[in-house]
């Protein structure tokens, strides 16, 4: 006789497997913003202003920000001297660049079209 536990996947499994019962993928439990700063500090990241870090994590998201950490880590540990502020500066630079690119691409596209001769 099957139990209810076997009949339906847990909510964590459902999220990861799109509701399929054939795969069981554990999901990490959610962490608070404070826990996220502690994880970053444990990995060697310098956090000078805890309140600033908490506000940034609430606004940006830990996993989005972690993409900017990849080149600043050696395994699970941050390289010496890497600060939270440095990572947020990288994020802001990338964000501003993403907003500038469409206008630049449009300018290049128009210039390219103007330079191409139309053959009758």
Q: pLDDT (tens digit, 9 = 90+) per residue, 57-113? A: 999 989 999 999 999 999 999 999 999 999 999 999 999 999 999 888 988 888 888
Give the DSSP H or E segment for 78: strand 77-78
* Domain-located, residue 36: yes
> Has residue 29 got a pLDDT over 80?
yes
Residue 55: domain span: 31-115
On whether both 7 and 37 belong to a single domain, the answer is: no
How many domains does the chain fold into? 2
**Are 45 and 9 spatial neighbours (Cβ–Cβ below 8 Å)?**
no
On whether both 4 and 49 belong to a single domain, the answer is: no
* Domain-located, residue 9: yes
On whether both 80 and 26 belong to a single domain, the answer is: no
On whether both 51 and 106 belong to a single domain, the answer is: yes
* Domain-located, residue 120: no
| pLDDT for 28 | 80
Q: How many CB atoms lie within 10 A of CB 53?
A: 24
């Amino acid at each position: 006789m099957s139990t209810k536990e076997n009949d339906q996947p847990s909510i964590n499994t459902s999220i990861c497997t799109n509701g399929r019962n054939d795969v069981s993928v554990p999901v990490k439990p959610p962490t608070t913003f404070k826990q996220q700063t502690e994880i970053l500090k444990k990995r060697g990241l310098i956090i000078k202003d805890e309140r600033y870090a908490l506000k940034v994590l609430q606004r940006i998201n830990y996993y989005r920000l972690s993409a900017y950490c990849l080149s600043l880590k050696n395994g699970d540990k941050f390289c010496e001297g890497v600060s939270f502020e440095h990572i947020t500066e990288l994020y802001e630079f990338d964000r501003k660049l993403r907003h500038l690119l469409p206008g630049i691409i449009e300018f290049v596209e128009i210039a390219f079209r103007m330079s191409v001769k139309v053959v009758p």
